[in-house]
Structure formats: C-alpha cells, structure tokens
Amino acid sequence: VLPLGVDRAHFLATEVPAAAFVAATLWITLRVQATRMGWFFAGVCAGFAAATSYSATFVVLAPLVAACEIRRPLATLERFIYLSGGAVAAFLLACPYALLDLSSLLQGLAEQREYLAGVAVSHPWRWYLGDLWHAELYPGAAAAALVGMGVAIYRGRRVDWAMLLPPIAYLALLAVDPASSVRSLLVLLPFACLFAGGALAELGGRFFRPPLAHGAIAFVALALAFAPARGAFRSNQARTRPDTRTLAWHWINEHLPEDACVAREEYTPQVSPARYHVEYIGALAQRPYRWYLAEGCTYLVASSYTYDALYNPPQKAGPTAAEFYRILFTLPRLAEFAAGPGTSGPTIRVIHLPLPSP
C-alpha cells in the first residue's frame, strides 16, 4: 500500500520486483536459516534482487551477517559457500550479460550515474530521509520503523544486526553519492516495514496479554497503513484522468514544425524522433544555454516533476540549476499544461529559445 511502490509499479520500474526479492531474502534469513538449503535460497533471492536492480545488491549483507558466527568458523564458512553460490548463480541466470559482456554493463552503469549526477542533491541523506518520512511511509509508520530499529539495537542479537546493517550501509552510501533518485528508496521499504512490524509486536506483547495483543497489533498496523494507502489510492485515482503530457504531446505535434530541434527533460512528452530532432536530457539544467544554441534547439520542454525540486527550495542541484530555470522561464512560453480538476500529471511548459541572429 506504500505510495512509492504503487506509483512505480505503473511504470514497470525494476525496483518494484527487486523490493519483492529483498523481502523474500529477509523472510528466508529470519525463518529458514537453520538448513543449508535455507542459506542457499537466501542467496538466490539476494542474487535475483541484485540482478533486477543493482541498487538492491546491498541486501546480501543481511544473510551474510546472520550466517556469521565467530565461535564456529567452519559452520560460518559453509554457510557463506551456500549463500554465495546461490547469489552468484541467481545473478548470472537473471543477468547473464554481466559475464558475457562486462564492458557494456560497466558502460551502462557509468551512463546511468552521469545521468543521475545531473540532478545531484546537496544533502542526500536529508533528502532521502525526508522523503521516506513525509511521502512514502508517512510519519506514523516512519516513527514505528525508528522504534523498531531502536528495539533491535537494544536486543543486539546477531539476527537483529543482520537486519540493521544493510539499510544503514545503504543509506550511508546514498549519503555520499551525489546522484539521487526517489526510486532508490524502494528497496529500503521492506526493511522499514519489518522494523515497524517488529516495534508493534514488541510493544503489543509488553502492554497486552496474548489474546488482546494480536487485536491491538492488527488495529495499530491498519491505522499506520491508512495514510500511505490513502495516498496510493489518490495517486491511482489521478491516473484515471487525462495526463498533461498526453495533451502537450498532441499540441507539440500540431504546432511545432517538423524537423525542429526539441530538447526535453524527464517526465515530458515522448515526441517522435522520426518527426523531430530530439535531445533527451535528465534535466534541462544539465546543459548550459550555449549548448542548446550550438545544437540549434529552439524548443525546450520542461516538466514540474523535474524543475520543481531544482528551481524551488531546497534546490536539489544547487543555485546554478535554479538560476538556469529562472532564466528559462523568462523566455517566450508557447504553451503550458497544468494539472486540474479534469487532468493529472506534471505541469508541462513548452518554451521557445530564440537563436541569435547570424
């Protein structure tokens, strides 16, 4: 019911099935860790998670930490062998080109990082945590997850640290990485839900007797899930209305001359490259104005889903990107399509960039 998962599922984002594999890895690690095949299948789920979305690779830390027993090195080694065997086999089965064409894989990762770096966040950890608190888990479930983490730290069992270290390590990596994407949070949601559920189970068991505890836990869980579920429901309702990008797409095809150079950023209409010379950029602010002039791009298409976070506070990419959009929005605006009672989606602005006189 979490809005981010529901929303990204509409776009077939790879992080959605990756989050399911993350959840499966955690379940097997917690429930079936006593057998060799249990460790093997924990590795299999972690391998499938990593192959589905590379950002989910960190989940393999959970079974690795759970498998580690300093006083039993041979048993630990055996578990590591089954874990790594399952993880490597599953990863290569789902992503064979990691082995067959490693150079293309590394090139793709570099291109993706360059693309994301164009919308870098000044304080990544604050941005990610703020989004989790306000938009994904909502304050109630987020607070429950924090309590659950506190309970796990207090108990200090090996399995508790196995659940704690992966999300902490992942958030630490995001904090030092200038690239940002809200999709990166999806693979953290199973951990957040696990900690929130653990907090409810711990507190319910402390304050209520077993027959009443189950009902109290279920009631509080449903109450915490209400706000995220309502957010996801409203998002789905909005998607039943005509999208502003569709309206803008029709307008562009009807009004812009063929073979014109059109530069567009993410979350804008996907105009046909057979009809126009299209330059696609993650955010228009990733290129200076002289670049558009040199390319002969006289039409720029901007989306509020991109420029809102760069142009308005907290100005994710810093003052340079904000200044780019400030100047851009002073140029002639040919058309604007904003969400309203009968439409949904971002605000789309089609802007004319006059070329200098020869």
Q: How large is the average pLDDT for residues 270-294? A: 91
For 306-354, the pLDDT digits (tens) are 888 777 655 555 678 888 999 999 999 999 999 888 899 999 999 999 8
Query: Residue 350 and residue 338: Cα distance in Å, rounded?
Result: 12
pLDDT at 267 exceeding the cut of 70:
yes
Dihedral angle computed from the Cα positions of residues 132, 136, 139 and 142, in that order, rounded to the nearest 10 degrees: -60
pTM for this one? 0.79
Percentage of residues in the chain having pLDDT higher than 90: 53
313 vs 110, which has greater pLDDT? 110
pLDDT at 18 exceeding the cut of 70:
yes
Query: Residue 136 and residue 111: Cα distance in Å, rounded?
Result: 28
- Which backbone phi and psi does 352 adopt, to 5 degrees? -95, 125
Q: How high is the pLDDT of residue 330?
A: 93
Q: How large is the average pLDDT for residues 167-176? A: 84
Half-sphere exposure of 21 (CA within 13 A, CB side): 28
- Please tell me the least confidently modeled range out of 13-22, 52-61, 133-142, 268-277: 133-142
Q: Which two tokens stand for residue 99?
A: 């082995």
Q: How large is the average pLDDT for residues 6-22? A: 87
For 127-167, the pLDDT digits (tens) are 778 878 887 888 999 999 999 999 999 999 999 999 999 99
DSSP-derived secondary structure letter, 324: H
CA distances (Å), 146 to each of 46, 87, 258, in order? 24, 29, 55
- Please tell me the least confidently modeled range out of 75-79, 87-91, 211-215: 211-215
pLDDT at 7 exceeding the cut of 90:
no
DSSP annotation string for 130-145: HHIIIIISHHHHHHHH
